């Protein structure tokens, strides 16, 4: 029995009447499961007319693409289904099934408004304020920010404090962070807040050593400095762990974690996974 010939490259088409972030993340999560496969990802966003959709679908057909879409218009969804069925294209409607189920359970018809998630409403402005907070209180610029923060991140250099602060800010959390250096002054405000709001970030010495050397090379500097010295790094990590123990805070090793994974662990550890923390009213959506 002959084995079916496999495609050299697998193509995804993300089609959306808005920014397409939801379907894009689904495509990326799928692609991540196949590191040995070559992928192409095409995004066709803000598709709101039949002519634009038909052109996009025709392009997808040329690539024999996997189509993931988040179209909310009944007419555009129906057109997509018909085209893909006739063309033999795999397609997944990401949005309609849950929307239909909510309508079935509540008896409330959806607004069918493209881009409803991205309205400039109070939830949006709350997120902007959180991001401004993260920038203002980055790298321990003002220790008073610890008392106002929802989350305080601690860690030695290159433990992803700033990227994590901004990522969590995008989830409407006010985040402050503090770089830890042995013998450096620890702000008294750190001991005045609930340790449940504090997360201590750590890393493996060898990983930090590699990251710091690469950083120095990127700056055109000698990679072998006190900053990247493995003994100095171990000293920094020991100092950080001693502080974490005194504070009684949550500790997360970021050595093998992505920003998204670390953020999810932080939200879980601080009991912030509940949706009500981010959305206080249906109108916030």
Closest CA to 201 of 249, 260, 160, 155: 155
Tell me: do 58 and 191 sit in the same domain.
no
Are both 57 and 91 inside the same structural domain? yes
Same domain as 129, residue 110:
no
Reported as a single tens digit per residue, the pLDDT across 15-47 is 999 889 899 999 999 999 999 999 999 999 999
**Residue 62 and residue 165 share a domain:** no
- Residue where a domain stops, chosen among 73, 88, 117: 117
The number of domains in the chain is 2
How does pLDDT run across 103-142, given as a tens digit for each residue? 999 999 988 887 666 665 677 788 899 999 999 999 999 9
Q: What is the CATH number of the domain that holds 87?
A: 3.40.50.2300
Same domain, 135 and 233: yes
Phi and psi at residue 79, in whole multiples of 5°?
-65, -40
The string of pLDDT tens digits covering residues 144-156 is 999 999 999 999 9
Rounded Cα distance, 128 and 124, in Å: 6
- Whether residue 1 is contained in a domain is answered as no
Instruction: Note down the domain range covering 61.
Output: 9-117
Which residues have a Cβ under 8 Å from the Cβ of 96 and sit 6 or more positions away?
A: 72, 77
In the chain, count of helices (H) and strands (E)?
10, 8
Whether 283 maps to a domain, the answer reads no
Question: Is residue 2 in some structural domain?
Answer: no
Give the Cα separation of 206 and 51 in Å (integer): 55
Burial of 99 (0-12, 13-18, 19+ CB in 10 A): middle
Q: Which residue, 54, 82, 117, sits at the end of a domain?
A: 117
Q: How far apart are CA 95 and CA 75, in angstroms?
A: 14
For residue 282, tell me if it sits in a domain.
Answer: no
Q: Which of 93, 117, 141 is the last residue of a domain?
A: 117
């Amino acid at each position: 029995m002959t084995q079916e010939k496999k495609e050299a490259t697998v193509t995804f088409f993300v089609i959306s009447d808005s920014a397409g972030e939801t379907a894009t993340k689904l495509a990326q999560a799928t692609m991540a499961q196949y590191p040995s496969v070559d992928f192409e990802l095409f995004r066709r966003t803000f598709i709101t007319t039949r002519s634009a959709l038909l052109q996009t679908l025709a392009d997808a057909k040329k690539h024999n693409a996997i189509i993931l879409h988040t179209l909310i218009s009944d007419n555009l969804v129906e057109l997509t289904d018909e085209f893909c069925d006739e063309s033999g294209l795999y397609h997944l409607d990401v949005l309609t099934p849950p929307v239909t189920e909510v309508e079935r359970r509540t008896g409330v018809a959806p607004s069918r408004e493209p881009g409803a998630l991205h309205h400039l409403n109070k939830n949006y402005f709350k997120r902007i304020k959180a991001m401004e907070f993260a920038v203002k209180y980055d790298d321990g610029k003002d220790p008073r920010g610890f008392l106002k923060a929802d989350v305080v991140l601690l860690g030695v250099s290159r433990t992803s404090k700033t990227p994590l602060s901004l990522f969590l800010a995008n989830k409407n959390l006010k985040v402050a962070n503090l770089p830890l250096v042995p013998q450096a002054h620890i702000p008294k405000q750190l001991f005045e807040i609930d340790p449940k709001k504090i997360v201590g970030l750590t890393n493996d010495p060898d990983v930090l050593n590699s990251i710091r050397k690469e950083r120095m090379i990127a700056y055109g500097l000698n990679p072998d400095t006190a900053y990247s010295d493995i003994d100095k790094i171990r000293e920094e990590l020991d100092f950080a762990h001693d502080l974490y123990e005194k504070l009684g805070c949550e500790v997360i090793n970021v050595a093998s974690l992505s920003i998204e994974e670390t953020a999810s662990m932080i939200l879980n550890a601080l009991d912030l996974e509940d949706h009500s923390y981010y959305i206080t009213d249906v109108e916030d959506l």
